[in-house]
Structure 1
């Protein structure tokens, strides 16, 4: 594999790791749920079926390959949910950062060893233990790195708080040439409509200068306003709490012109087309029940 290269969220994608829904295991027990949305579906008996999720991910592969993207998949671990590759590692510039996540997900990282082994070892960073960080909270955007975090004293009480202030400091130290801009996110263990699990659950840049945004995902109004001013109000698609719950901001860019989106996101998809984007619509509503969508399922390695 050529040198890793990720400078932002939307440049032309060349190589990506996409998770897998194969052998994702039985419906989790209530106490095993990592987020309020999964919990809701476990209780309602509507937790997604493996066969449906495999079909949805196959549609994603087709959309990527249609645009000549090289797609790696993890080795399949028995009875392990490996859909959300974004959680296990992420790339900034030419380095891969191993995410310090929920400890029982380390084997998911081992399952992409065939990919990691193609990367020069001095380009892989393993943050120290006190640094908690997940890829869904980290967004390289040219000279910036946007980081979703939660620094409240009750951080340990939230299984939904995934990136801490140590992670923000760590990124500042690793990337002294970048501006690190952090955002406090609203967390809830029990109410999916009040929980921004990751930054990409309430915000995502698209194209060269546009963004999808949800005001209530941010705890501090000034931080939300900073994004509005940075992108410009006319370039922002503001989503409702219901749309955030449906994961409208978790689409995925193949290039500044091409966005992969869920086929039911009618209001968003129409807006994207009005703005001149090509929208690759795929079914992904079953996977969405686990509070993750298209961006969450990907680990981009090389963009042009």
Structure 2
């Protein structure tokens, strides 16, 4: 397979879409990876497998409608395999296998049948000290935007997923690109104050536009850099509640076509007003695990 990813929005040709099949029972609170899941476990509103399968199949249908080749992970019994973006990501013709939470290594194995078709020299496993997940990594032409957390208390946050060692390693891997890192706000307990990944508070769309949530960024000047980079008139600012509901975590099939959650009324109206075709799907149950459309898709080939 010849991988090709230069940005977030060029016409999609092949993608891995996670799966909710055999998702397993509701996790115990101490086994949850993020504060939003904990909130729903406590409230008894954690999503049911049947509902999540239905939501993911709606996405698969949209992708197939646009002639995108859709790969799915091999099913692991009673195991959460929804968030395909966490475990690997593609930049140019290379697939980087994420150093993920140890509990989730089996997810990587479940996509092995796909990435073993990639030439060996283009399969990259970063050194052990590099922690990185695909939700924090966004190729954008000459840039790679990366969400990170570099506080001394990094180890105290299960929500801190990508460290500066990984940022440096990716800069060395792609020396011809500008790797730009952004410090994200982390909380183990309050989902409205937690940007689990960069795509939970920011995403580029189209040719020159972006969705952004200011409070997801720890350093105001880094947020401001993005606003200036895209231009204030091209940026859709989302509220704290919209970030909590994952409004920045939509998914581009092309520069013109976006898959979005059907309840994102304000965002979807703005997208249509700006000339995008919006394919609306139900994804509110998946969102309860602090991930949405970008988190559950991992592009392999874009034009």
**Aligning the two structures, in what range does the TM-score lie when normalised by the shorter sequence?**
over 0.9
Match of 2:172 in 1: 173
Residue deviations 1:41-81, cap 9 Å, x none? 00000000000000000000001000000000000000100
Please state whether the residue corresponding to 1:296 is helix, strand or coil: coil
Normalising by structure 2, report the TM-score. 1.00
Residue deviations 1:176-215, cap 9 Å, x none? 0000000000000000000000000000000000000000
Q: Give the aligned CA root-mean-square deviation in angstroms.
A: 0.4
Please state whether the residue corresponding to 1:270 is helix, strand or coil: helix
Normalising by structure 1, report the TM-score. 0.99
Match of 1:198 in 2: 197
Please state whether the residue corresponding to 2:278 is helix, strand or coil: strand
Ranges in structure 1 where 5+ consecutive residues have no aligned partner: none
Please state whether the residue corresponding to 2:182 is helix, strand or coil: strand
Residue deviations 1:241-261, cap 9 Å, x none? 000000000000000000000
1:142 partnered with 2:141: yes
Partner Cα separation in structure 1 for residue 91 and residue 262 of structure 2? 30
Please state whether the residue corresponding to 1:47 is helix, strand or coil: coil
Partner Cα separation in structure 2 for residue 17 and residue 219 of structure 1? 31
Match of 1:86 in 2: 85
Ranges in structure 2 where 5+ consecutive residues have no aligned partner: none
Alignment of 1:228-267 (within 5 A): 228-267=227-266
Residue deviations 1:265-292, cap 9 Å, x none? 0000000000000000000000000000
Partner Cα separation in structure 2 for residue 162 and residue 118 of structure 1? 27
Match of 2:51 in 1: 52
Match of 2:217 in 1: 218
Please state whether the residue corresponding to 1:96 is helix, strand or coil: strand
Partner Cα separation in structure 2 for residue 104 and residue 154 of structure 1? 21
- Cα distance, 1:155 vs. partner? 0.3
1:275 partnered with 2:269: no
Please state whether the residue corresponding to 2:295 is helix, strand or coil: helix
1:133 partnered with 2:118: no
Match of 2:24 in 1: 25
Partner Cα separation in structure 1 for residue 90 and residue 112 of structure 2? 15
Runs of 4+ deviating beyond 3 Å: none
